[in-house]
Every structure is written in structure tokens, then in C-alpha cells.
């Protein structure tokens, strides 16, 4: 349970939208990983990459995703 909930519900909704996006395949491909990097970057309080190296790689990958024009698969939180 999260108290206060803050932006936890939008985080879960964003994860669900990304996981359910049929065009991302099994979520192990490069495009899916870029979307996941954007989510981790957008919700740092709730998401952590597994390991320090991956954690440090999140922001550059999220920036690359935005540069490539990948938009969120969910309604923006702001």
C-alpha cells in the first residue's frame, strides 16, 4: 500500500498500457525497452532499473526514445 498514493496510480496505469501495447511484442525488444526507459524516467519514485549500470542508462535511453519521436502509451501525468 502506498500512502500517500501521489502518482502511484498513474504509474500503474502507464505500466499496464505499455505492457498491453500489442505492437511492442514480448517487451524484450529494443523498442519496448525504450518505452520502459521512458516510464522509469517519468516515475523515478516507483521504478528502478535492476543494477547500477542499467539505472545509469535509463535517462540516456529515455532521451533517445523521445528524440526518436516515441510518445507515451498513456495519458501524460502533467
Question: Which of 78, 77, 75 shows the shortest CA–CA distance to 17?
Answer: 75
| pLDDT value, residue 77 | 58
pLDDT tens column, 12-41: 888 888 878 767 777 778 888 888 888 888
The pTM assigned to this predicted structure is 0.71
| Cell 514480448 belongs to residue | 26
Question: Which of 41, 23, 45 shows the shortest CA–CA distance to 32?
Answer: 23
Rounded Cα–Cα distance for residues 55 and 51 (Å): 6
Does 75 score more than 60 pLDDT? yes
pLDDT tens column, 44-69: 877 766 667 777 888 899 999 999 98
Residue 65 cell numbers, joined: 526514445
Higher pLDDT among residues 29 and 76, named by residue = 29
Amino acid at each position: 500500500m502506498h500512502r500517500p498514493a501521489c502518482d502511484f496510480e498513474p504509474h500503474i496505469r502507464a505500466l499496464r498500457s505499455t505492457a498491453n501495447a500489442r505492437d511492442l511484442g514480448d517487451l524484450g525488444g529494443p523498442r519496448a525497452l525504450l518505452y520502459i526507459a521512458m516510464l522509469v524516467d517519468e516515475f523515478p519514485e516507483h521504478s528502478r532499473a535492476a543494477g547500477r549500470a542499467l539505472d545509469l542508462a535509463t535517462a540516456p535511453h529515455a532521451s533517445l526514445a523521445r528524440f526518436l519521436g516515441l510518445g507515451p502509451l498513456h495519458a501524460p501525468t502533467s
